[in-house]
Amino acid sequence: MTTNKLGLYIHIPFCIRKCNYCAFNSVGVCAAGAGTGIYGSTAGSESAFGQAGSANGQACDFTEAALLLFRKYTDAVKNEIDFYGRLAADSYFVDTVFIGGGTPSVIPAEYISEILEQTAGSFRLSDGAEITIECNPGTLTETKLNTYIKSGINRVSMGVQSFDDGLLRILGRIHDSKTAKESFHLLRSAGFQNINLDLMFSIPGHDMNLWKKTLDEAFALRPEHISFYSLQLEENTPFFDMFEKGELDLPSDELDRKMYHEAIAVLEEKGYEHYEISNASVPGKRCRHNLKYWSLDEYLGIGAGAHSYFAGCRFFNRENADEYITSLCGEEFSPKKESEAFFAPCVQSEDIVRNTKDDDMSEFVFTGLRKTEGINLGEFSARFGRSFFEVYRGCIPQLKEYEKNELLSLNNDNFRLTRKGIDISNSIMALFV
Ligand code: SF4
C-alpha cells in the first residue's frame, strides 16, 4: 500500500446572491429569477427561493424547492466522493479538505456534516488533516458553527473583502462591516483557532486611506491568515459591463501596486509571514491545501466545475449543477475511461488532459514561483531526473538579465522572485508556459 497524499476540494456553488464582480461558478439562490431549470420557477413563485437575503446579510428563508436542490446536490457530491474513494482509497490518504464555493455556509450545516462523513468513510483521512470551509459574513449562526466543529472542520476562510460599507455596497456583498466583525467573533466563540480573512483592493472608488483602514481593522482581529487580492475584472459580470461603458472608477495600476506593497509592509510589521504572492499567515498556519496547488501535488476537485490534478491528468467536472447532479444520481451514471485512469461520470470527458513530463516541469516552476520562497532546484532534479539549468537552458540569458535588475534570485539551490519581481510575475512565469 502506497501512501500518496491527496487534497480534496469540494465545490458548493450556491450564494445568497451574486456579487457585482463575480465570475466564479456560483449561483445566487435568493435573487428573484436566479436561473432556469432546477434553480427557477416553482409554481406561483417568481423564484424557487422565496424571500431574498436581507441587506444586513441574514440568510434567506429557503423554500422547499431550494432545500430539495441542496439535498440533491449534496447526494451527488457524496456519490462522487464514494466513486473516487473506491478507486483511490488504497493508494492515497487525504490530508487536506477544502470546502469552497460559492458560499458553502449557505446550505444546511447537516449536509456539510454528511459530506465530511462520506469523505471519512470513503478515504483514509490523516490525523490532523486540515479541513477548511469557506463562508461569508451574515450566513453564520452559533448552531451552524457548532455543527461544523463537530464534523471536524478546523479552519474557516471568510470573505470579508473590505471593512468599508461604501465599498462593500459597490461590490454587491450581502454584508456590512459590523456583520463581518460579528461573524468573526462568532467563529472565535465557537472555538475556531485557524481563520483566514479574504481582503480585496483596487475596488472601484478605492483609495489608500480606505485600504489602510481595512488593513488596520483586519489585523486588529488577529486572524491566523490573510489573503489579499486585487480586484480582477471578469467578463459576464456587472462590473465588466460598467467598465465597457466607461462607468467604472478603477484605481490606477500604480495605486494598485502601492496598495499591494502597503499590505505586505503592514503584515510583516504585525509578524505575519508573506509566503505566497497573495497570502500571509502567522507562523505555522499556512494553508496546507492551497500550497498543494503551488507545489504540483495531487488534488481531486469534487462538485460542479471543480478542477483536479490527479493520476497525472488535469480535468474538470461539468459546470452546470443540473447536469452534474444528473450525471451522478441519474440513470446515466457510468464511469469514463481515459487511457489507464478512470474518471467519475461528472467529468467533462472531452477535456481530460494527460500531462507530459514537460507539462509537469513547467507547471512545477510557474506555480512554484508564486511561493515567496520559490522553488527548490534540488527538488526539481529529484522529481524529474533532470537539472533545471539543462531543461531551461534557453531561458537562462533572460533570467540572468532579470536577476541583474533585481527581479529574481537564481542560484544552484533556489529560484525565486524578489518583491520587485512579483510586480511583473506574469511576464517571468510566462517564460515557462
Ligand atoms: S460570495 Fe463569492 S462566490 Fe458568491 S457571488 Fe460573491 S464573490 Fe461570487
The DSSP call for residue 47 is S
Provide the Cα torsion 258, 262, 265, 266; round to 10°.
180
Q: pLDDT (tens digit, 9 = 90+) per residue, 387-430?
A: 999 999 999 999 999 999 999 999 999 999 999 999 999 999 99
Residue that is written with C-alpha cell 522572485 in the block: 417
State the Cα–Cα distance between residues 334 and 301, nearest whole angstrom.
Answer: 18
Q: How many residues does the chain have?
A: 433
Domains of the chain: 4-292 (3.80.30.20), 357-430 (1.10.10.920)
> What gap in Å lies between CA 246 and CA 236, rounded to an integer?
16
User: Helical H runs in 164-287?
Assistant: 165-171, 177-190, 208-220, 238-244, 253-269
pLDDT, residue 33, reads 37
pTM of the entire predicted model: 0.92
Pocket residue to mutate for ligand 1, from 12, 20, 21, 22, most atoms within 8 A of Cβ? 22
Residue in 19, 75, 121 with CA at minimum distance from that of residue 328: 75
Kindly state the DSSP code that residue 332 receives in the 8-state scheme.
T
Q: Is 243 in the pocket of ligand 1 (CB under 6 A)?
A: no
Q: Is 72 in the pocket of ligand 1 (CB under 6 A)?
A: no
Choosing from 14, 15, 175 the residue with most ligand 1 atoms within 8 A of its CB, the one to mutate for a pocket test is 15
Written as one letter, the residue type at 391 is V
pLDDT at 334: 59
> CB of 159 closer than 6 A to ligand 1?
yes
3-state secondary structure (DSSP) of residue 391: helix
| Of 303, 246, 273, 264, the residue nearest 119 (C-alpha) | 303
- Mutational pocket test of ligand 1: of 26, 27, 30, 167, the residue with most ligand atoms within 8 Å of the beta carbon: 26
Nearest to 408 by CA among 228, 141, 302, 399: 399
Query: What is the tens place of the pLDDT at every residue in 278-315?
Result: 999 999 999 999 999 999 999 999 999 999 999 999 99
